[in-house]
């Protein structure tokens, strides 16, 4: 592990002002003042010069980009928890550790998912647009009815920190929790959360009212929710995704929504961000958010603090605490 006084640190996107100020104090830091995502060439130029690269999920840190890295590039300190935009194998092959920012965005993301879990079945976003469009003519016994969430069953795919934080919130709304995860949680944790493990994902899909996707995006979870699995969901089921768009086959999801094969969806992430298909944009039974999961002042500052801590500990010659590669 190196010991570097003021590592040359290139940050690919604009970060909260306090975070940038602290980085400028501690590191030989270079920022992206106009905040446009860096081109592939700009990323190649950055890895050729930096000791530490601080990318975010909008940067494709591919094998090709890493091939331009100079021998001085010794750390990738990602601003964010998901690292699916970084070719981890290529980083490992070059012996470059990658760190992320787990823990500090859990509660904010879970709050937002809970917002979608309420807002989609109860048609809150649709109602708001209705009022603003001047269409509301007053209360009516059959006006804009949605589905009750109390007493329903939520299926959570991916029961890590965020999945568990959603389960805690949903229980408070009287929602039953099933979950599918590679590894079963300890029984005591299951009991505290009131959550039931479903080893077989397909069985769980056929038996829930709301589905929340909260697993990481990897080669194994690519299009985990495909046409066949969407077909297992009932007509009254709502799909919520605040993890990564690529976990759901968006075309197949759009087909299912258009046909009324499922009731609706709440999406914070998409397969080709920021592009969203015209067909999806045209649907009433979806709430579409612009990847807001961790978007709080507090959360983004805490993410920055984590990035700084990882760089400082690494620069002092120690293993950074949030290293994602062995």
Backbone angles phi, psi at 36, to 5 degrees: -80, 140
Compare residues 208 and 213 and give the one whose CB is closer to ligand DGY: 213
Distance between CA atoms of residues 129 and 276, nearest Å: 19
Residue position matching structure tokens 């950074």: 320
Compare residues 115 and 293 and give the one whose CB is closer to ligand DGY: 293
Residue range at the interface with ligand DGY (CB under 6 A); choices 30-38, 77-85, 158-166, 185-193: 77-85
- Do residues 59 and 43 touch, judged by C-beta distance below 8 A? yes
The yes or no reply on residue 80 touching ligand DGY (CB under 6 A) is yes
Q: Which of 16, 37, 82, 277 binds ligand DGY (CB under 6 A)?
A: 82
Note if 326 is an active site residue.
no
Tell me the three state secondary structure of residue 273: coil
Note if 222 is an active site residue.
no
Residue range at the interface with ligand DGY (CB under 6 A); choices 29-37, 65-73, 78-86, 276-284: 78-86
- Do residues 154 and 117 touch, judged by C-beta distance below 8 A? yes
Residues 90-109 that bind ligand DGY (CB under 6 A): 105
Distance between CA atoms of residues 306 and 258, nearest Å: 42
Compare residues 60 and 255 and give the one whose CB is closer to ligand DGY: 60
Q: x/- site string to ligand DGY, residues 25 to 64, per CB under 6 A?
A: --------------------------------x-------
Tell me the three state secondary structure of residue 280: helix
Sheet holding 176-180: strands in order across? 195-197, 176-180, 153-157, 210-213, 238-241, 264-267, 286-288
Distance between CA atoms of residues 148 and 67, nearest Å: 53
Q: Which two tokens stand for residue 50?
A: 């930096």
Note if 168 is an active site residue.
no
Compare residues 241 and 256 and give the one whose CB is closer to ligand DGY: 241
The yes or no reply on residue 158 touching ligand DGY (CB under 6 A) is no
Q: x/- site string to ligand DGY, residues 57 to 76, per CB under 6 A?
A: x-------------------
The yes or no reply on residue 216 touching ligand DGY (CB under 6 A) is no
Q: Which of 107, 244, 246, 300 is flagged as catalytic?
A: 244
* Shortest Å distance, C-beta 55 to ligand DGY: 11
* Shortest Å distance, C-beta 125 to ligand DGY: 20
Residues 292-311 that bind ligand DGY (CB under 6 A): 293-294
* Shortest Å distance, C-beta 242 to ligand DGY: 8
Compare residues 99 and 294 and give the one whose CB is closer to ligand DGY: 294
DSSP 276: -
The yes or no reply on residue 215 touching ligand DGY (CB under 6 A) is no
Bridge partners of residue 155, in order along the sequence: 178, 211
Distance between CA atoms of residues 252 and 235, nearest Å: 15
Angstrom CA distances, 141 to 97, 138, 145, 252, 268, stand at 60, 10, 9, 35, 32
Distance between CA atoms of residues 322 and 326, nearest Å: 11
* Shortest Å distance, C-beta 206 to ligand DGY: 29
Q: Which two tokens stand for residue 201?
A: 């994902």
Please list the active-site residues: 244, 273, 291
Chain residues binding ligand DGY by CB under 6 A are 57, 80-82, 105, 293-294
């Amino acid at each position: 592990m190196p010991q570097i006084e003021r590592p040359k640190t290139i940050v690919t996107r604009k970060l909260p002002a306090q975070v940038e100020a602290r980085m400028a104090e501690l590191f030989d830091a270079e920022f992206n003042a106009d905040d446009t995502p860096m081109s592939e060439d700009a990323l190649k130029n950055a890895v050729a010069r930096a000791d530490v690269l601080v990318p975010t999920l909008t940067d494709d840190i591919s094998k090709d980009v890493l091939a331009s890295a100079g021998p001085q590039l010794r750390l990738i300190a990602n601003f964010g928890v998901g690292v699916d935009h970084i070719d981890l194998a290529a980083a490992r092959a070059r012996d470059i550790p990658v760190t992320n920012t787990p823990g500090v965005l859990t509660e904010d993301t879970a709050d937002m998912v809970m917002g979608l879990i309420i807002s989609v079945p109860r048609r809150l976003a649709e109602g708001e647009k209705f009022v603003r469009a001047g269409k509301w003519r007053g209360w009516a016994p059959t006006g804009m009815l949605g589905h009750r969430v109390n007493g329903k069953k939520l299926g959570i795919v991916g029961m890590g920190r965020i999945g568990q934080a959603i389960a805690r919130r949903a229980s408070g709304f009287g929602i039953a929790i099933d979950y599918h995860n590679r590894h079963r949680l300890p029984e005591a944790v299951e009991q505290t959360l009131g959550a039931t493990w479903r080893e077989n994902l397909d069985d769980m899909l056929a038996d829930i009212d709301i589905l929340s996707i909260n697993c990481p995006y990897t080669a194994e979870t690519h299009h985990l929710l495909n046409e066949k699995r969407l077909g297992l969901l009932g007509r009254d089921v709502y799909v919520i995704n605040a993890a990564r768009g690529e976990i759901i086959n968006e075309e197949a999801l759009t087909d299912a929504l258009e046909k009324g094969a499922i009731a609706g969806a709440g999406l914070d992430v998409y397969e080709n961000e920021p592009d969203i298909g015209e067909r999806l944009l045209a649907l009433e039974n979806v709430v579409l958010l612009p990847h807001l999961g961790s978007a709080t002042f507090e959360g983004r500052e805490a993410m920055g603090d984590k990035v700084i801590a990882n760089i400082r500990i690494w620069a002092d010659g120690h293993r950074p605490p949030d290293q994602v590669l062995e």
